[in-house]
Structure 1
Amino acid sequence: MARARVAIAGIAIESSTFSPHISGPEAFTVLRGADLRRRYPFLAVGTERGDAADWVPILQATALPGGAVDAGTYRRMRDEIVESVRSEGPFDGLFLDIHGAMSVVGLEDAEADLARAIRAAAGPDTLISTSMDLHGNVSAEFSQAVDLITCYRMAPHEDAWNTRERAVHNLLERLRGPHGRDPVARRPWQAWVQVPVLLPGEKTSTRLEPARSLYGRLPQIEALDGIVDAAIWIGYAWADEPRCQAAIVVTGDDAELARTQAAELARAFWDARHDFAFVAPTGTLDECLDIALGRGPGAATPFVISDSGDNPTAGGAGDVSWTLGELLARPELRDPARTVIHASIFDPDAVAEAVRAGVGGRVEVHVGGRVDARPRGPVPLSGDVFSITYNDPVAGTVAVLRSGAVHAIITERRKPFHLVSDFTGLGLDPHAADVVVVKIGYLEPELYEMAADWRLALTPGGVDQDLLRLGHQHIERPMFPFDPDMPDPELRPALHRHNPTSP
């Protein structure tokens, strides 16, 4: 039997419709051809999966989470994928590597639009396998356009690459199995059901119950005879679209078993809705700072505070200045004997002022609040240039400005701070700092290990953890927690298998 021809494509971004930031072409890292294939170590020549098919890398674009994608930017990437699929086909399979929470200006379901366009170009016989983030959204229209679908089972997403490899494994197994050349028999059934629950990711970490047990059931279901994959999507809380809610998909050749397992998972998720809690103790920023600064001499360091409302890895603009303004206003933080690090705000103008002043120079600048001015615009900062770092591959030029105890990290471009090296590379020692305030939700592994203690501050921004104050208008209702007294939903999975006789 000839080796299968398999294309690789995708567009991956998490987009907050509550952020005024717009993600244009500069937001995306676009890979094509050999560069795209090198993205996947498990597809290297000489590996089992790399040699199992003729891989045709088309285009995969990935961006740091942000605001909605500019429509023209999206269309250019989508159309390039579609034209390449059409011109370089036919394909036996296609690996679709996406996030699942992409919002595009003017569209309500961007991933469904992408999947339908790819399906039309690839034709009805191409088997499409999709890898997603568990914070993506799975509408009926999207699930019906693909054949195999899976998502991460860990939050934080330590299994991201394992999930992509699982999606490829499932695709290859269907193509080279006993019915691999039969376009009907090789297609499994999908049992799909949405659960009317919308929660922020910081309430659904798989480090804690009930998410840990819910996701812990998936490998057991996947191991059942007649089942290919089982997946739970939390959904994306910071977009205001009808598809935004939890979803369950169980895929397999045994249609009734898939439906039964999907129904049981959906019911378990619904029954646990009141049990989801934030991954750390929460409070206002002032409450969190009072605890951090009131621990007394000799307390273990650092105390980490999540500035959660402007988390750039959830879609925040990354330049909300509210928290920095509050830090600068605290009287006890005017004493340079303490060390408080704030990471970060992107503001190229403020960085340019710091570069002009030079290390050790004095600056009077206004920082942040230029993209997302809620609830305050640029904040005044008078301080010394602690350090300047050039050519960061993500942030560009980075300046650390010191005002009293506060060490404010200002970047030329948006950047998340997840690694200890993100700080030490700027001349900062986060382990020795009294307090590290970082724009993030739940802590990524290195920050989690570093923290002597931590709190999740419920701060304002485009990814506000308090969903009720964001003002969703277009999600389906009723939905928990917006309608806490809503009746129990029916939760009946729909069965679907793509019909290879028509696109």
Structure 2
Amino acid sequence: MKMFMASLATETNSFSPIPTGWSGFKENLHTKRASYGETGPYATAVTVWRRRAEALGWEVVEGLATYAQPAGPTVRAVYEALRDDILDDLRAAMPVDVVLLSMHGAMIAEGYDDCEGDLLSRAREIVGPAATVGLEIDPHCHLTEEMLAAATAIICYKEYPHVDIGERAEELFTICADAAEGRTRPVMRDYDCRMMAMYHTPFEPVRGYVDRMSAMEGKDGILSVSLAHGFPWGDSPRAGTRTLVITDGDAELAESRARDLGRELWDMRHQLRSFPGIEEGLGRAIASNAFPVVLADFADNAGGGAPSDSTFVLRAALDRGLKDIAFATFWDPVLVSMCIDAGVGAVMPVRVGGKIGPMSGDPVDLTVTVRGIKHDAKQHFGPALTGLGDTVWIEADGVHIVLSTRRTQTFHPEVFTELGLDPAQMKYVVVKSSQHFYAAFEPIASEIIHLATPGAIPPDYTIIPYTKPDDNYWPKTENPFAGDRP
């Protein structure tokens, strides 16, 4: 057997003011040797696949692996160059039996609503109908008809936060290896749940739902079950939640199980978590008798395409006179450079945040002390290390702020501790993240509060200014199934 593998990924926020270009891809991961020791979520899958394939004595050809921090649509010429690089290597590797791709699932470029479907379709044209083509994607994806038509099998991560990327890569390899060697015949069917929501898997009712999905696999001909959460801030015609079932040759079973799972999810929609606004959330934190309380600045998550420099929560905390409060991570390369030049201990007037546009809020002027500097800082996301660039810790009268030169969400307390600040000693910790912080911060938190903040990815799915999906989804429409089914 001969296998070709590659990775091309970014999550596109159609409403972000930040374009996705060459710098976004080259500052994170851009190599054709990602499986030989590179770290990060989009090196994980190819590393697993090389190990599994070589253990079977397969020949492995590795193409480009690259990833850009989520932002606005990818520049057309950049996407086409990256895509064609992968396809040229695939052509050169022919004939191949198996193609495995790691992508995000919600990548949009100028002129392309569906980059995953485009790449998969072109790859299928090259390898022909007999080859096995597998795709591993983030659940915050747009599961399109083109993707389903071109792939043999598609697997979404099951967990949010995404702590199971390696496990899902293992699962996809097993399914595709079995198919390539003639042991199974995967058939996929999906179901449109007509919902826009966040599905945080550590909490009920989603925790039990995901466990029931997993329990179906390996029984009665069901090979895999995925929940495609959807990415609400991508202006895609297929935006929204879908269930996906893969069976061994039984299309009717795949369709019925996907429909049943979709209807089960619909029935629990009013049990899904809702988030307090800034003032209510801060009030809850202040009333707590145990610390630290960790608060998530949901809408300023760089991992969803936000600038990561919004000041709405910072301003509210200052207005309340809060102290022993720590914020991370503000993206501000210019201010980081100034603080590094001034050095630890320097006292200086600074302007924090509010630099990218209206969704960042107004800048905040403070007189601060530079408390810590860390060059080439790193933080863990699960087992993978991700870069923050250079980071700086500044303090203004008990208000502690971490700044970075690289735009990224906060995954781990290391963003603080690497600078010498112990978040466990704070009363309040505010992280610019929607959910991926949860696994690492939960052990130190007395309570975790997700805030419904304003910004680039506000968790109000009724106000997203779509131009391509219609309004026939919950909660924008109370019953989008009216007239379709009981």
TM-score (norm 2): 0.90
Paired residue type of 1:287: E
Q: Cα deviations across residues 363-387 of structure 1 (Å, max 9, x unaligned)? A: 2122222223325243222211111
* Matched residue, 1:85: 90
* Matched residue, 2:441: 447
1-structure distance, mates of 2:481, 2:156 = 29
- The structural deviation recorded for 1:474 is 2.3
**Residue number among 222, 226, 233 corresponding to 2:228 in the alignment:** 233
Q: Cα deviations across residues 439-459 of structure 1 (Å, max 9, x unaligned)? A: 112342111111111211111
Question: Any residues of structure 2 matched to 1:415-434 within 5 Å, and which?
Answer: 415-434=408-427
**Residue number among 347, 354, 359 corresponding to 1:362 in the alignment:** 347
2-structure distance, mates of 1:43, 1:470 = 38
Q: Cα deviations across residues 205-253 of structure 1 (Å, max 9, x unaligned)? A: 1222332233222233322333322222111111122111111222221
**Residue number among 148, 168, 173 corresponding to 2:173 in the alignment:** 168
RMSD, aligned CA: 2.2
* Matched residue, 2:195: 197
Paired residue type of 1:312: A
* Matched residue, 1:407: 400
1-structure distance, mates of 2:473, 2:49 = 41
**Residue number among 193, 207, 228 corresponding to 1:212 in the alignment:** 207
**Residue number among 303, 318, 327 corresponding to 1:313 in the alignment:** 303
- The structural deviation recorded for 1:162 is 0.2
**Residue number among 236, 255, 259 corresponding to 1:259 in the alignment:** 255
Structure 2 CA distance for partners of 1:473 and 1:294, relative to 1, 3 Å: same
2-structure distance, mates of 1:25, 1:439 = 24
Q: Does 1:158 align with 2:158?
A: no
Unaligned stretches of 5+ residues in structure 1: 179-185, 492-503
- When Rg is computed on C-alpha atoms for both structures, the one with the higher figure is 1
Q: Would you say the 8 A contact 2:191–2:255 is kept in 1?
A: no
Counterpart secondary structure, 2:336: helix
- Percent of matched pairs sharing the same residue: 27
* Matched residue, 1:343: 328
2-structure distance, mates of 1:355, 1:30 = 26
Question: Any residues of structure 2 matched to 1:99-498 within 5 Å, and which?
Answer: 99-178=104-183, 187-199=185-197, 201=198, 204-252=199-247, 253-278=249-274, 282-295=275-288, 299-330=289-320, 332-333=321-322, 338-374=323-359, 376-392=361-377, 394-442=387-435, 443-488=437-482, 490=484
Structure 2 CA distance for partners of 1:173 and 1:37, relative to 1, 3 Å: farther
- The structural deviation recorded for 1:80 is 0.4
**Residue number among 3, 13, 17 corresponding to 2:10 in the alignment:** 13
2-structure distance, mates of 1:208, 1:102 = 28
Paired residue type of 1:226: G
Counterpart secondary structure, 1:431: helix
Paired residue type of 2:291: T
Paired residue type of 1:10: S
2-structure distance, mates of 1:192, 1:490 = 17
1-structure distance, mates of 2:336, 2:282 = 27
* Matched residue, 2:382: none
2-structure distance, mates of 1:409, 1:284 = 23
- The structural deviation recorded for 1:112 is 1.3
Structure 2 CA distance for partners of 1:375 and 1:95, relative to 1, 3 Å: closer
Q: Would you say the 8 A contact 2:353–2:360 is kept in 1?
A: no
- The structural deviation recorded for 1:83 is 1.1
- The structural deviation recorded for 1:265 is 1.5
Structure 2 CA distance for partners of 1:34 and 1:351, relative to 1, 3 Å: closer
Higher RCO (CA 8 Å, separation ≥ 6 residues): 1
Paired residue type of 1:274: H
1-structure distance, mates of 2:450, 2:125 = 45
TM-score (norm 1): 0.87
- The structural deviation recorded for 1:479 is 0.8
2-structure distance, mates of 1:37, 1:17 = 34
Q: Cα deviations across residues 2-40 of structure 1 (Å, max 9, x unaligned)? A: xx1111012122221122122222222345444335444
Q: Cα deviations across residues 297-319 of structure 1 (Å, max 9, x unaligned)? A: xx432111111110112222212
- The structural deviation recorded for 1:436 is 0.4
2-structure distance, mates of 1:372, 1:51 = 52
Q: Cα deviations across residues 241-298 of structure 1 (Å, max 9, x unaligned)? A: 21111112222212222222122112222222222224xxx32222222332344xxx
2-structure distance, mates of 1:291, 1:226 = 48
Structure 2 CA distance for partners of 1:55 and 1:490, relative to 1, 3 Å: farther
Structure 2 CA distance for partners of 1:264 and 1:243, relative to 1, 3 Å: same
Paired residue type of 2:462: L
Farther off after superposition, 450-459 or 320-329: 320-329
Paired residue type of 1:244: A
2-structure distance, mates of 1:448, 1:312 = 20
- The structural deviation recorded for 1:488 is 4.1
Q: Would you say the 8 A contact 2:328–2:430 is kept in 1?
A: yes
* Matched residue, 1:182: none
Q: Would you say the 8 A contact 1:19–1:462 is kept in 2?
A: yes
2-structure distance, mates of 1:144, 1:248 = 16
- The structural deviation recorded for 1:89 is 1.2
- The structural deviation recorded for 1:156 is 1.7
* Matched residue, 1:181: none
Paired residue type of 1:260: S
1-structure distance, mates of 2:108, 2:354 = 23
**How many residues align structurally?**
467
Q: Cα deviations across residues 125-158 of structure 1 (Å, max 9, x unaligned)? A: 2210111111112011221111111111222222
Q: Would you say the 8 A contact 2:326–2:429 is kept in 1?
A: yes
2-structure distance, mates of 1:115, 1:472 = 26
Structure 2 CA distance for partners of 1:105 and 1:461, relative to 1, 3 Å: farther
